[in-house]
Amino acid sequence: MHALIVVAHADQQSFTHAVTAEVAKGITDSGHTLEVADLSEQGFDPRFGAPDLAKFRNQAEVPDDVRFEQQRIERAGALVLVYPIYWWSFPALLKGWIDRVFTNGWAYEERADGGLDKKLDDLNVHLLAIGGANLRTFARHGYFGAMRTQIDHGIFDYVGASVRTSELLLPAEGSFPQAHLQIAQDIGRRVFA
- Mean of the pLDDT values across residues 159-187? 86
At residue 175, the pLDDT reads 62
| pLDDT tens digits for range 34-61 | 999 999 999 999 999 999 999 999 999 9
- Residue 47 to residue 40: CA distance in whole angstroms: 13
State the pLDDT confidence band at 5, using cuts at 50, 70 and 90. Answer: very high
Q: Check pLDDT > 70 for residue 173.
A: no
DSSP-H helix ranges across the chain: 15-29, 50-56, 64-75, 92-101, 135-140, 143-147, 158-159, 178-190
Number of domains in the chain: 1
When mean pLDDT is compared over 62-66, 142-146, 151-155, 169-173, the highest value belongs to 62-66
Q: Which domain holds residue 61?
A: 2-190
Phi-psi region of 52 (alpha: psi -120 to 50; beta: other; left: phi over 0): alpha
- Residue 16 to residue 184: CA distance in whole angstroms: 10
At residue 178, the pLDDT reads 81
State the pLDDT confidence band at 174, using cuts at 50, 70 and 90. Answer: low
Q: Give the CA distances from residue 38 to residues 31, 94, 138, 145, in Å, rounded to whole numbers and listed in that order.
A: 22, 10, 27, 27
- The CATH number covering residue 164 comes to 3.40.50.360
Strand, helix or coil for residue 56: helix
Residue type for position 185: Q
